[in-house]
Amino acid sequence: MRDRRSFSFYWLAALFGLFVLFLYGPMITILILSFQGPDGGLTFPMNGVSLHWFGKLWEGLGVVDIWAAFRRSFRLGLVVMVLTVVLSLLAGLAYRRRFRGSNVLFYVVVASLIVPSIVVSLGIGLEFRLIDDAIKSMAETFGWTDVAEHYTTAMGIYTSGLGAQLTWTLPFGLLITFAIFNRFDRRFEEAARDLGATPWQSFAHVVLPIIAPSVIGIGLFGFTLSWDEVARSSQAMGDLNTLPLELEGLTTTVTNPQIYALGTVTTGVSFVVIFLALGLMRALRRRSKV
């Protein structure tokens, strides 16, 4: 095909270049503008270069405790990451052996990916409200005064919020696990078994080291999707907001480059996580080749 490549190659390459510019251009604009001078505004031109708005951001954003939201989101991201890796891997192992209802589960997982997030979020919000109502009325009926007086809600970041995010991260986790095990050479396992390894030993010492790079990939999806999740979290977080939810609220109220500084910091965290994960994947792949 090389000889035919010349013309179409160049216009497609140009299209690709434009697309990359389209993808990254706006992000780079925000990055630059977050270093706006103290008198600078939300748009170009730059009025000097400074860390002024990062300083302002460090002090907080008015009524919103942005750093508390930052910590909440980070912790939630880690929890979602661990659960996504463990649950998808377990489910993936189960799929290798087939189980009853595996087809139905597959369709449910795909459905979870394509049902509009706002519908899922609303459903979870409703569910927890109904749970709250049920607990309150039960407490009244049975005379549990303690519960009746102090109970507020079962909604929270690590109940409804966590569940809402998992309905988004687990489908990606499972699909990646399918891809991993599709390519996995079962002969390694059989060899381990022939040499007397227990199933756990063969998993821990043979299977896991081979699939480790892809497992990190699942973790990458788990953390980054949670870290930026808005749509499914919107009605499911309860009283305390995560960072992206706060950020969405701030888009209408903050009218200075602080919001760009926050954008740069958030994107920075994403990029650190992405490159850490990619670096780790590369290192593990290299090691397993030796």
Task: Determine the interface stretch with other proteins among 49-57, 109-117, 134-142, 150-158 (rule: CB under 8 A).
Answer: 109-117
Asked if 158 is part of the footprint of other proteins (rule: CB under 8 A), the reply reads no
Task: Determine the interface stretch with other proteins among 47-55, 56-64, 144-152, 161-169 (rule: CB under 8 A).
Answer: 161-169
> How many residues at the interface with other proteins, by CB under 8 A?
103
For residue 61, which phi and psi values (nearest 5 degrees)? Answer: -120, 65
**Among residues 145, 152, 198, 288, the one that binds other proteins under rule CB under 8 A:** 198
Asked if 93 is part of the footprint of other proteins (rule: CB under 8 A), the reply reads yes
Residues in contact with 219: Cβ distance below 8 Å, sequence separation at least 6, in sequence order: 81, 82, 84, 85, 277
Interface positions, 212-271, toward other proteins (CB under 8 A): 220-221, 224-225, 227-228, 230-231, 234-235, 244, 247-248, 251-252, 259-260, 263, 266-267, 270-271
Interface positions, 29-88, toward other proteins (CB under 8 A): 29-30, 33, 41-44, 87-88
- In 3-state terms, what secondary structure has residue 61? strand
Determine how many CB atoms are found less than 10 A away from the CB of residue 196.
Answer: 8
H or E element, residue 245: helix 243-253
Q: How far is the CB of 101 from other proteins (least distance, A)?
A: 8
The residues with which 127 forms a beta bridge, in sequence order, are none
Task: Determine the interface stretch with other proteins among 51-59, 96-104, 138-146, 148-156 (rule: CB under 8 A).
Answer: 96-104
**Of 127, 206, 111, the residue nearest 159 (C-alpha):** 127
**Of 82, 59, 75, 58, the residue nearest 240 (C-alpha):** 75
Is the Cβ of residue 214 or residue 224 nearer to other proteins in the bound state?
224
